[in-house]
Amino acid sequence: MLAQAAMWEKLGQEPVDVLVIGGGINGAGIARDAANRGLNVALVEMRDLAYGTSSRSSKMVHGGLRYLEQFAFGLVFESVSERRILLKIAPHLVRPLGYIFPIFKSGKRGLGMVSLGMWVYEALSLFRSPRRHKTLKAHALQKVEPIVNTEGMLGAPLYYDCATDDARLTLESALDAAEHGAVVSTWTRVTRFEKDESGQVTGALVRNELTGEEKTVKASLIVNATGPWTDKTRGLSKDGVKPMVMRTKGVHVVVNRESLPVNHCVICPHPDDARGVFAVPWGNQTYIGNTDTEYGPVDGGVTATLNDVDYLLEASNTYFPQHQLSREDVISTWAGLRPLLAPETDDISNSKITREHSIEVGADGVVTVAGGKLTTYRKMAAEVVRVALKALKQRGHRLKVSRSKTAKIPLPGAAKLPEGGLKALKQSLQERSSPILTPDICNHLVDTYGCRAEALLELAKSNPDYAKPLVEGRPEIAAQVVFGVEQEFAATATDFLIQRTQLFYRDQDQGLGALPEVVRLMGDLLEWDQTRRDTETQRYERDVAASRAWQTEMTG
Phi, psi torsion values for 42, nearest 5 degrees: -130, 140
Backbone angles phi and psi of 273, in degrees to 5: -125, 5
Phi, psi for residue 213 in degrees, rounded to 5: -70, 145
Sort 63 into a burial class: Cβ within 10 Å, 0-12 / 13-18 / 19+.
buried
38 phi/psi in degrees, rounded to 5: 105, 5
Run of H or E including 154: strand 153-164
Q: Mapping DSSP to helix (H, G, I), strand (E, B) and coil, where does residue 55 land?
A: helix
What does the pLDDT look like over 185-224, one tens digit per residue? 999 999 999 999 999 999 999 999 999 999 999 999 999 9
Distance, CA of 355 to CA of 78 (rounded, Å): 11
The pLDDT of residue 117 is 82
Nearest 10 degrees: CA dihedral of 19, 23, 24, 29? 50
Pairing state between β 357-361 and 265-269:
unpaired
A 10 A CB-CB count for 151 gives: 8
Looking at residue 466, the DSSP 8-state letter turns out to be G
455: exposed, middle or buried (Cβ count in 10 Å: 0-12, 13-18, 19+): middle
Task: Write the burial class of residue 139 (CB in 10 Å: 0-12 exposed, 13-18 middle, 19+ buried).
Answer: exposed
Q: Are 2 and 175 contacting, i.e. CB atoms less than 8 angstroms apart?
A: yes
Residue 488: which residues within 8 A CB-CB, separation 6 or more? 2, 171, 175, 500
CA distance 413 to 240: 43
What is the per-residue pLDDT for 355?
Answer: 53
C-alpha closest to that of 196 among 179, 218, 229, 215: 218
Which residues on neighbouring strands pair with residue 280, listed in sequence order? 287
Decide if 231 contacts 69 (C-beta within 8 A): no
Averaged pLDDT of the chain = 92
What is the distance between the alpha carbons of residues 515 and 303, in angstroms, rounded to a whole number? 21
What single letter denotes the amino acid at residue 465?
D
Distance of CA 501 to CAs 290, 374, 507, 518, Å?
Answer: 22, 19, 10, 12
Cα 119 from Cα 115, distance rounded (Å)? 7
Cβ burial, residue 45 (10 Å; 0-12/13-18/19+):
buried
For residue 336, the surrounding DSSP H or E stretch is strand 332-341
Distance CA 298, CA 296 (A): 6
Other CB atoms within 10 Å distance of the CB of residue 346:
5
Cβ neighbours for 419, distance < 8 A, ≥ 6 positions apart: none
Listed as ranges, residues in the chain with pLDDT below 70 are 1, 69, 71, 299-300, 344-355, 555-556
C-alpha span between 192 and 201 (Å, rounded): 10
502 pairs with which residues across the strands?
A: none
How far apart are the C-alpha atoms of 370 and 356, rounded to whole Å? Answer: 9
User: What confidence score (pLDDT) does residue 349 get?
Assistant: 38
Cα radius of gyration (the chain)? 23
Find, among 355, 276, 381, the residue nearest to 67 by Cα.
Answer: 355
Q: What is the dihedral of CA 520, 524, 528, 530, to 10 degrees?
A: 50
* Contact (CB, 8 A) for 24 and 53: yes
By the 8 A CB rule, do 202 and 218 touch?
Answer: yes
10 - beta bridge partners?
none
Q: Are 48 and 4 in contact (CB under 8 A)?
A: no
H-helix or E-strand spanning residue 96: strand 94-100
